[in-house]
Amino acid sequence: MTSGAYLDHAATTPMSPAALEAFVAEAQRVGNASSLHSAGRGARRAVEEARESVARSLGARPSEVVFTGGGTEADNLAIKGMFWGRRRGATHRTRVLVSAVEHHAVLDPAFWLAGHAGAEIVLLPVDAEGRLDLEALRAELAAHADEVALVSVMWANNEVGTVQPVREVVRLAHQHGVPVHTDAVQAVGQVEVDFAASGVDAMTVTGHKLGGPLGVGALLARRELELEAVLHGGGQERGVRSGTLDVPAIRAFAVALAEAVEQREVRAKHLATLRDALVAGVRSAAPDAVLRGPDPALAPEERLPGNAHFTFPDAEGDSLLYLLDSAGVQASTGSACQAGVPQPSHVLLAMGVPEAEARGALRFSLGATSTPDDVERLVAALPQVVARAQAAGLVSRTNERGRP
């Protein structure tokens, strides 16, 4: 574990002891899961047992679990694979509906399809708390149902923690025969996630967000879903995801997932208690800070229990991040960085947050190893950090105005 207060579990989590033990044990064995000899059969057995475990944890059938190299690959397989799969028939479906607050692992392949495969991307709006506008989705489906290839709406937002109305999205889309994908990377282990009960056609999960290793994840996809391969080669994983399977990572992923799901209720209560203390502490230490996303005091079920996201007026998020890091507190801005230039979060902009305010964003995310001491360390450091970041922002703005 890192030193200081680690408040960036939404970026990645430490491996749980049980997952690490499983990883190390499997890594000491040799065998390609596609080989027919005894070592290969042993590796295949480990993979299939892990597949059954993942399915149990997420309310799916084992045959619906497609192992991938992580969440980004699973999202790409879902968006591209579903788009190309839906073009097999006579109907030319080119519209891809995605919420405006999706992770770039969904947005970027969607826009890649627009540039390379004739897709038309429709960004579905959200309200001021980051919640999908269901009426906009309803209207889009009513007007263009025969042209829609798929809908993708994340289960919970990675920046502001908003839990989306996934089941209602499914109900609306399925009325028109349109399949739905959801990125559930942030949701699993924090809120109840059941693949079958949700009705979605495809769902992305990953290991390193819930105590598993980096570089492994899965796309849960219904057997009847039309899904084209993105990776080609040996034909592993139903022929839609070729590549030698990472047996140690897959086994450790299954162990971490089972552990996270089994402990979810207890852990969620713990995280919510810490989150509420963090929110109260930030508001006390920095009264001008604005909580973004649903207020947990008013609608706790609409926000991830481990997420708190603030904007700090007149301060740049990257300045806040570096100053906090120097004080032993690790967090995230949640925004993109392109060509070395920090950009305001597309999530906050979609929520209607002015660009100047969106630049002062910080995301604090809690996990299994978080403690009250982490929160106290943040709250103690925050007043000086905010004051210094605002002073630096004032100097920067003054210099900008003075330039010819």
Q: Cα–Cα distance between 136 and 133 in angstroms, integer?
A: 5
Cα separation of the two ends of the chain? 49
Instruction: State residue 154 phi and psi, 5-degree precision.
Output: -65, 150
Sequence-ordered list of residues with C-beta below 8 angstroms from that of 372, at least 6 positions apart, any chain:
274, 277
Tokens 């491996």 sit on residue:
15
Tokens describing residue 105 = 């692992």
Report CA dihedral (143, 144, 150, 152) to the nearest 10 degrees: -40
Measured distance CA(291)–CA(295) in Å, rounded: 7
383, β-bridge pairs: none
Which tokens sit at 23?
Answer: 């990883």
Give the list of residues 6+ apart from residue 174 with CB closer than 8 angstroms, or none: 180, 199
| CA dist list (Å): 71 to 12, 88, 261, 371 | 12, 26, 18, 27
CB 216 within 8 A of CB 70: yes
CA pair distance 174, 200, nearest whole angstrom: 9
- Tell me which H or E stretch contains 169: helix 166-174
Report the candidate in 74, 140, 148, 69 with the shortest Cα–Cα distance to residue 105. 74
Specify the DSSP element, H or E, that contains 150. Answer: strand 148-152
Rounded Cα–Cα distance for residues 120 and 93 (Å): 9
Instruction: Tell me the backbone φ, ψ of residue 177, rounded to 5 degrees.
Output: 70, 25
- Reduce the DSSP state of residue 204 to 3 states and report it: strand
Report the amino acid identity of residue 359: R
Active-site positions read 337
